[in-house]
Structure 1
Amino acid sequence: MTEVLGYSTYALHVLTLLTQGSAVAYSLYSSFNTTARAAHFVFIPFYPPIAEEIAENNITLSALQEVAEQRVAAYENDGEGYAIEQGTKPNDIGLALYDSPVGQLAWIGGKIKLWSDPRAGTPPSVLNNTAILTCVSLYYLTDSFLPSVWMYAGNSLKGVYTKAPTDAPLLFTQYEYNVGFWPQEYVAQVGNLVSYTVHDFGGHFPGLDNPPALIEDLREMAQYFEA
């Protein structure tokens, strides 16, 4: 960011889980505290707490947060098989689907539908079949499926929460139907939390699920960023 692109300071924004951004963004936020001067996360690279742990810590959840927590519990029960396969046998699934557009559509497209807000396709959501086909086509036409799978084998979520040694503002947004849920008390453990927002529409892909809310979040981060 500084030596190649020439930015003396910058802000970070990340939507999704460890291999697609949150681990990289959190590393920048934690390690480059004089240049990374604000960060907005929708996913952090730490294991979400389970319901029993939340209760043991006397954390009271709002109705929207309870939906989010239940969503994560369901994902952990029957939605993590893909991550185990990609994390332990990346070449098996990567090579099996490498030259199969239908296979990649089933593997990727199914998850886009499952991880999105159940109201997908109704305003403000812009998620439709064209958006899904466009996303999957980018993987297939650029030969990106196999390397995208390898990333799971090289990364893992952190079990121990650590505080980033920085005073840079950290903002966090919880979308009701995301497949990761962190109460405010947990997010505050990893950085200088200045804003915790819960949106009542959206899932794991808020850029498609709820674009106006995502823009609102980014504009809020700009208020905290000092170049």
Structure 2
Amino acid sequence: MDDDFTLRPFRIEIPQAALDDLRERLVRTRWPSETEGQGWGRGVPVGYLKELAAYWADGYDWRAWESRLNAHPQFTTEIDGQDIHFLHVRSENADALPLILTHGWPGSVVEFLELIEPLARDFHLVIPSIPGFGFSGPPRGAGWNSQRIARAWAELMRRLGYERYGAQGGDFGGGISRALGLIAPQNVVAVHVNGGTTYPSAAEDDVTLTERERARVRRMHEFMAEAGGYLAIQSTRPQTLAYGLTDSPVGQLSWIVDKIRDMTDPAKELPHEAVDRDLLLTDVTLYWLTGTAGSSAALYYEDAQAWSEPEVSSVPTAVALFTVQDIALRRDEEKANNVVRWSDFERGGHFAAMEAPDLLVDDVRAFFTDYR
């Protein structure tokens, strides 16, 4: 790619008028009716969301979280015609291994806030916002699927002067990290994914499955039957969805909260019990302030349009699963990847960086020890 590039320092400075507009919209929300006694069975209950929206309007402090984000060096650069926003936190250990961390949906760079300080003791951290998400903003054109994003990440690491590095991610971030290993195997020393990169290929009644594996297959079928509608919508009609979520902060809040509850630790009944309430609202606020509801959803569309049978990766790979909310099976992961480490945790869920950062940090640190 072009060697004539610029890394531009970036600082988050949201105008007060945008925050005032957010509060006004929250206060003026037009609330829907609901079926008596429905609980969470038909989606997010009105009572729960009213309480959360009221706190978002009058209790939550964006400026405090803005300052927390701004405590870390941030930059933007243009790659393949697209602005890319990223955090770049260098370790005090000059010889530390560079590590690129990639979020998923409905996440953002906010996912990694609890990981930055402990991981920076051992790694130079690069934490980009996926095109269509956060301060990378909406893509300027079509075609930004996971493979293209991985190519952009390879270029980003080259621009930063990193010739040898690791990759970590969950959800879309796991797939992008895997794709980065396929695109730049001479540079990526190892890949760590939480949640896996495949869907179970076995049936629940397969006698060769362990009880834990059967529970994961069962969970996959339950999830697709009860909560998988968002996949169909975002894979086919992200633009139609965008109008409601971009115009209504409560619409954006409910869409994200619904998925957080569906995929977090099953031992936690409510979303804010699995993910800190203010951290959750910071993630939602970032979507709202950047107007990226539709462009982030479009990653599902782009990947659906570009789908092909994935290559087998030879890059050393670690897979960490958190409770039955991570539905991958070891046999499938080992067919697709060079799995050299397998971790299975009894706490946490699909959003491990926000739910169980301590477990994730320890697993990442332990895995990459042999590749530093």
Tell me the TM-score normalised to structure 1 length. Answer: 0.84
> Does 1:81 find its partner at 2:229?
yes
Q: Counterpart of 1:112 in structure 2: which amino acid?
A: I
1:140-165 C-alpha deviation (Å, 9 max, x unpaired): 0121212101111101396746412x
Q: Counterpart of 1:171 in structure 2: which amino acid?
A: A
Checking the alignment, whether the CA contact within 8 Å between 1:105 and 1:136 is kept in structure 2 is: yes
Partner of 2:354: 208
Checking the alignment, whether the CA contact within 8 Å between 1:117 and 1:202 is kept in structure 2 is: yes
Partner of 1:105: 253
CA–CA distance in structure 2, aligned partners of residues 192 and 92 of structure 1: 39
Partner of 1:51: 203
Residues 73 and 224 from structure 1, CA distance in 2 versus in 1: closer, same or farther, beyond 3 angstroms? farther
Per the alignment, in what secondary structure is the counterpart of residue 221 of structure 1? Answer: helix
> Does 1:120 find its partner at 2:276?
no
> Does 1:29 find its partner at 2:167?
no
Q: What is the Cα deviation at residue 65 of structure 1? A: 3.5
- Which of 30, 34, 38 lines up with 2:190 in the alignment? 38
Q: What is the Cα deviation at residue 7 of structure 1? A: 0.3
Q: What is the Cα deviation at residue 15 of structure 1? A: 1.2
Per the alignment, in what secondary structure is the counterpart of residue 213 of structure 2? Answer: helix
Q: Counterpart of 2:317 in structure 1: which amino acid?
A: L
Partner of 1:183: 329
- Which of 312, 333, 343 lines up with 1:197 in the alignment? 343
1:62-110 C-alpha deviation (Å, 9 max, x unpaired): x443333322221121221011011111111012211210000111111
Partner of 1:10: 165
Per the alignment, in what secondary structure is the counterpart of residue 268 of structure 2? Answer: coil
Per the alignment, in what secondary structure is the counterpart of residue 190 of structure 2? Answer: strand
CA–CA distance in structure 1, aligned partners of residues 208 and 194 of structure 2: 20
What RMSD, in angstroms, separates the aligned Cα atoms of the two structures?
Answer: 2.4
Q: Counterpart of 1:201 in structure 2: which amino acid?
A: R
Q: Counterpart of 1:194 in structure 2: which amino acid?
A: V
Partner of 1:221: 367
Residues 145 and 28 from structure 1, CA distance in 2 versus in 1: closer, same or farther, beyond 3 angstroms? same
Per the alignment, in what secondary structure is the counterpart of residue 172 of structure 1? Answer: strand
Identity %: 24
CA–CA distance in structure 1, aligned partners of residues 332 and 308 of structure 2: 12
Q: What is the Cα deviation at residue 42 of structure 1? A: 1.8
Gaps of 5+ in 2: 1-155
Checking the alignment, whether the CA contact within 8 Å between 2:324 and 2:349 is kept in structure 1 is: yes
CA–CA distance in structure 2, aligned partners of residues 117 and 182 of structure 1: 16
CA–CA distance in structure 1, aligned partners of residues 309 and 198 of structure 2: 7
Q: Counterpart of 1:145 in structure 2: which amino acid?
A: A
Checking the alignment, whether the CA contact within 8 Å between 2:195 and 2:322 is kept in structure 1 is: no
Per the alignment, in what secondary structure is the counterpart of residue 98 of structure 1? Answer: helix
Per the alignment, in what secondary structure is the counterpart of residue 34 of structure 1? Answer: coil
Q: What is the Cα deviation at residue 130 of structure 1? A: 2.3
Q: What is the Cα deviation at residue 50 of structure 1? A: 4.2
CA–CA distance in structure 2, aligned partners of residues 2 and 141 of structure 1: 28
User: Aligned residues, how many?
Assistant: 214
Residues 2 and 118 from structure 1, CA distance in 2 versus in 1: closer, same or farther, beyond 3 angstroms? closer
1:169-199 C-alpha deviation (Å, 9 max, x unpaired): 1100111132x42221111112221111110
Q: Counterpart of 2:332 in structure 1: which amino acid?
A: Y
Checking the alignment, whether the CA contact within 8 Å between 1:98 and 1:143 is kept in structure 2 is: yes
Q: Counterpart of 1:137 in structure 2: which amino acid?
A: T
CA–CA distance in structure 2, aligned partners of residues 66 and 202 of structure 1: 19
Checking the alignment, whether the CA contact within 8 Å between 1:116 and 1:177 is kept in structure 2 is: no
